[in-house]
A and B are shown apart, each in its own frame.
Chain A
Amino acid sequence: MENKTSNTNFFKKFTNKIGSMTETNLLLTITITVFVLMYLGAMLFLQGGFLTPQNFFQMLNENATLIVLACGLSVVMITGGIDISVGGVTGLVTMCSAVYLGEDSSKSMWVVLLIALGIGLAFGVVQGLLVAYLDIQPFIVTLAGMFFAKGMTTIVSTKPTDIKHEGLMALKDTKIVVPGMSYVNSHDIRLDSYVEIGVLIALFVVLVLFVVLRWTKLGRSFYAVGGNSQSALMLGINVKRTKFLSHVLCGLLAGLGGFLFLLHAGSGSPSNGGGYEMNAIASSIIGGTMLTGGVGNIIGTLFGVTSLSTIKTIVASAGLQDGWWTGITVGFMLCLFLVIQSIVVGRKKK
């Protein structure tokens, strides 16, 4: 009897705690819980690759670009906008860099980084100006941005180009050992888990953005503008400038994403970054960022990317060979997340 009351007390406390959470934190908790459950489930039932730590790190290696893109998108979405040009910008950056480097190893790698950030910045500034100061719908502006980037990519070059630049290749093949995460593979050989340089950069971006969004004036004004731009204006926040900066930031990160893509894939191709914009949006949504603005968290976005990737890996390793299962499962997961979010947020409002 006593036990039962303490149980209900605990339950009450638990629900109270959930009830007192902000929407952002609540959605973040859901995301992380679902990811952990999903990964543990995969470890228990599918075993195989999921039992090795490298499986997790490989997921990060392959998705460094997506993490950076999704972070930029999260900022724009928190501010209440959207940017669907990020995938196109990524492709354009890889293509330009590949054509610039060619087979010449004497050219500087840093120019490539400059190209990447420059292209990203240019897209961000132009789109930001159009969205913030001319008050054009962000979807249309960035749609045009995506078309422009796609078209420019094929104007620069239409054939896939491999990069043979030594410095960049050395950077690409650098493997950073994760301490304490070695494992024994099926041939009884001890292997170290590793991450690529891109992952470190991506995680650094996540960290910086987390700090910016949580503790700086600019970060808080992103939330304020996205939550209610009218009251943000009355609080003395420069709404237009904030919107502009969110797009600049997103563009810049899209450029950086292109650089990371280059570091991972080592080639430029018109098909690079195809569909990344929607993957990034999906990741942000799974991570608890709401398209209506004002709600979202960068850590959630990170988990959104890993969740998305885990689903894909699970589908692939569960023996569902036919190509279409991936799409259907991802769609189903997305649906589940959205409905959960909608119910949770709706209940809280009541």
Chain B
Amino acid sequence: MQKRKISIKNLASKQIIIPLAALLLLVIFNLINDYTFFSIEWGQNAAGGSILTGSIISILDEASELAILAIGMTLVTAASGGQDISVGAGIAITGSATLKIIFNPNFGEGTAVILAILMAVLAGVICGAFNGVLVSAFKIPPMVATLILFTAGRSIGSWILGGGNDNATNGIFLKIGQYIPGIPIPTTILVTAVVIILFALIFKFTNLKLYMQAVGINSQSSRLNGLNPTMIKFLSFVILGICVGICGVLNTSRIGTINHSSCAKDIEMDAILAVALGGNALSGGKFSVTGAILGAYIIQFLQKTLYKIQVPASALYAFKAVVVIVLVIFSAPVVRESISRNWKKLTSKKSSKEVA
């Protein structure tokens, strides 16, 4: 009896319970509403290869960028206590850098792809380093510092491409955003999985997580303990920059072109939302990357569910807002405390009655 009580208490006190519960609710809702939502079938793509189709596959596919961004955003949030709102604009920049190489006729297909990926990551690192310097060296709050690239990024993107906007014909490049022949799931899912595993390994074998938490909780005392908060904050932005670079490649390779004003629109908001839904405090400190990734998939899952029940795309925002508000209310410490207090009262009343 005693043991069980403790385990429930532990589970309820963990922040990750909220995204898990949300995911469970969505799954149950879809099961009741239309269980074919979960069916995965064999289909054929345009190239004639047999592929897996189904809502779940497309959720995993479409949430790729968001999940990758959520990882980087969690680190930035944890270390600097603020958020990077320039990731959407960053994707416009890195995507343009990618296409600039792809459109260059001097490279062969294979070389162009490798160079393009390197270029995108480099562009992402430069963006991240720019934000990182402003935040760590100039002590500007992250959201304000990244406002610069937020306003300028999409313009920089179209400046890089010089206004020209063709469709990429590079076959290898397009396979990144679509399918590799013989593999029945979208390549983006594989890329995301690789990125997630890489980060998991980094967290497992380095002290990065510990350092970032220490800096986020109290940068002054972490400095006294021999860490370099400036460097770690800078590093978190650079890592996010790498994530943005990868997302730039994924985003442009899906359709082989870029629309600077609408590509990855509002993705910064979704990424921050994913971090918050994952039970991370937006003021920094302790963090859970797993939660954030889960948050990203929940957002996409929710979006897909709303489409499924025929909510028009333009009205999606309103429903999303309601769900978000309900989720954050339930994960707010104040509410959780009062719920657990009332719960205790209820249970203690019961037990006292039993005694009586």
Q: Which of B62-70, B101-109, B311-319, B341-349 contacts A (4 or more CB under 8 A)?
A: B311-319
What is the minimal beta-carbon distance from A37 to any residue of chain B, in angstroms?
21
What is the minimal beta-carbon distance from A135 to any residue of chain B, in angstroms?
5
Q: How far is the CA of A291 from the CA of B141 in the complex (A)?
A: 7
With A139-B282, A140-B272, A346-B139 as contacts: A331 and B148 at CB distance below 8 Å: yes
Query: A33 on the interface (CB 8 Å rule)?
Result: no
With A278-B147, A285-B147, A331-B152 as contacts: A143 and B318 at CB distance below 8 Å: no
Query: B290 on the interface (CB 8 Å rule)?
Result: no
Contact of A281 (CB < 8 Å), options: B147, B156, B269, B321 = B147
Q: Which of A42-50, A194-202, A214-222, A335-343 contacts B (4 or more CB under 8 A)?
A: A335-343
Q: Which of B112-120, B191-199, B241-249, B331-339 contacts A (4 or more CB under 8 A)?
A: B331-339
Contact of B144 (CB < 8 Å), options: A291, A327, A331, A346 = A291
Q: Which of A21-29, A108-116, A150-158, A298-306 contacts B (4 or more CB under 8 A)?
A: A150-158
Query: A144 on the interface (CB 8 Å rule)?
Result: yes
Band of interface residues on B = 35 or more
Query: B155 on the interface (CB 8 Å rule)?
Result: yes
- The reply to whether B148 and A334 form a contact with Cβ atoms under 8 Å apart is yes
Q: Mark B292-329, 1 if CB is under 8 A from A, else 0.
A: 00000000000000000000101111111110110011
Query: B76 on the interface (CB 8 Å rule)?
Result: no
Query: B138 on the interface (CB 8 Å rule)?
Result: yes
Query: B17 on the interface (CB 8 Å rule)?
Result: no
Contact of A324 (CB < 8 Å), options: B140, B149, B159, B317 = B159
With A324-B155, A331-B148, A338-B138 as contacts: A154 and B321 at CB distance below 8 Å: no
- Contact residues in B for A282 (Cβ distance below 8 Å): 147, 151
Closest residue of A by beta carbon distance from B82: A291
- The reply to whether B143 and A291 form a contact with Cβ atoms under 8 Å apart is yes
Q: How far is the CA of A281 from the CA of B141 in the complex (A)?
A: 13
- Contact residues in B for A341 (Cβ distance below 8 Å): 140
Contact of A155 (CB < 8 Å), options: B153, B154, B272, B318 = B318
Query: B283 on the interface (CB 8 Å rule)?
Result: yes
Query: B150 on the interface (CB 8 Å rule)?
Result: yes
Query: A148 on the interface (CB 8 Å rule)?
Result: yes
With A134-B334, A292-B141, A342-B140 as contacts: A278 and B151 at CB distance below 8 Å: yes
Within 8 A of A (CB), among B244-287: 269, 272-273, 276, 281-283
Closest residue of A by beta carbon distance from B282: A137
- The reply to whether A144 and B138 form a contact with Cβ atoms under 8 Å apart is no
- Contact residues in A for B272 (Cβ distance below 8 Å): 139-140, 143
- The reply to whether B147 and A334 form a contact with Cβ atoms under 8 Å apart is yes
Q: How far is the CA of A21 from the CA of B281 in the complex (A)?
A: 36
Query: B98 on the interface (CB 8 Å rule)?
Result: no
- Contact residues in A for B150 (Cβ distance below 8 Å): 278
Specify the main secondary structure of chain B where it touches its partner. helix
Query: B134 on the interface (CB 8 Å rule)?
Result: yes
- Contact residues in A for B148 (Cβ distance below 8 Å): 331-332, 334-335, 338
Query: B121 on the interface (CB 8 Å rule)?
Result: no
- Contact residues in B for A339 (Cβ distance below 8 Å): 134, 138, 140
What is the minimal beta-carbon distance from B155 to any residue of chain A, in angstroms?
3
What is the minimal beta-carbon distance from A305 to any residue of chain B, in angstroms?
15
- Contact residues in A for B158 (Cβ distance below 8 Å): 323-324
Query: B94 on the interface (CB 8 Å rule)?
Result: no
Query: A328 on the interface (CB 8 Å rule)?
Result: yes
Within 8 A of B (CB), among A260-294: 270, 278, 281-282, 285, 290-292
Q: How far is the CA of A144 from the CA of B266 in the complex (A)?
A: 12
- The reply to whether A331 and B317 form a contact with Cβ atoms under 8 Å apart is no
Within 8 A of A (CB), among B14-56: none
- Contact residues in A for B83 (Cβ distance below 8 Å): 139
With A291-B141, A338-B145 as contacts: A327 and B154 at CB distance below 8 Å: yes
- The reply to whether A136 and B159 form a contact with Cβ atoms under 8 Å apart is no
- The reply to whether B155 and A327 form a contact with Cβ atoms under 8 Å apart is yes
With A135-B334, A151-B321, A291-B143 as contacts: A328 and B152 at CB distance below 8 Å: yes
Q: Mark B155-172, 1 if CB is under 8 A from A, else 0.
A: 110110001000000000
Which of B83, B141, B148 has the most chain A CB atoms closer than 10 A to its own CB?
B148
What is the minimal beta-carbon distance from A38 to any residue of chain B, in angstroms?
17
What is the minimal beta-carbon distance from A312 to any residue of chain B, in angstroms?
11
- Contact residues in B for A151 (Cβ distance below 8 Å): 314-321
Query: A10 on the interface (CB 8 Å rule)?
Result: no
- The reply to whether A82 and B283 form a contact with Cβ atoms under 8 Å apart is no
- Contact residues in A for B141 (Cβ distance below 8 Å): 290-292
Query: A56 on the interface (CB 8 Å rule)?
Result: no
Q: Mark A127-152, 1 if CB is under 8 A from B, else 0.
A: 00010011111011101111110111
Closest residue of B by beta carbon distance from A308: B151
Query: A58 on the interface (CB 8 Å rule)?
Result: no
Query: A326 on the interface (CB 8 Å rule)?
Result: yes
Closest residue of A by beta carbon distance from B157: A324
With A135-B332, A135-B334 as contacts: A325 and B318 at CB distance below 8 Å: no
What is the minimal beta-carbon distance from A26 to any residue of chain B, in angstroms?
16
- The reply to whether B321 and A147 form a contact with Cβ atoms under 8 Å apart is yes
Query: A322 on the interface (CB 8 Å rule)?
Result: yes
Query: A330 on the interface (CB 8 Å rule)?
Result: yes
With A291-B141, A338-B134, A346-B139 as contacts: A148 and B321 at CB distance below 8 Å: yes
Q: How far is the CA of A150 from the CA of B318 in the complex (A)?
A: 7
**Given contact pairs A133-B334, A278-B151, a sample of 13 additional A-B residue pairs in the complex whose CB atoms are under 8 Å apart:** A139-B272, A139-B282, A143-B272, A147-B317, A148-B317, A151-B314, A151-B318, A282-B151, A291-B144, A328-B159, A331-B153, A334-B151, A343-B138
Residue pairs across A and B with Cβ atoms less than 8 A apart, 17 shown, are: A134-B332, A134-B334, A135-B334, A137-B283, A146-B321, A148-B318, A148-B322, A150-B317, A151-B316, A151-B321, A154-B315, A324-B154, A327-B153, A330-B151, A331-B149, A338-B140, A342-B138
The 7 closest A-B CB pairs, nearest first, are A151-B318, A331-B152, A327-B155, A151-B317, A148-B321, A324-B155, A154-B314
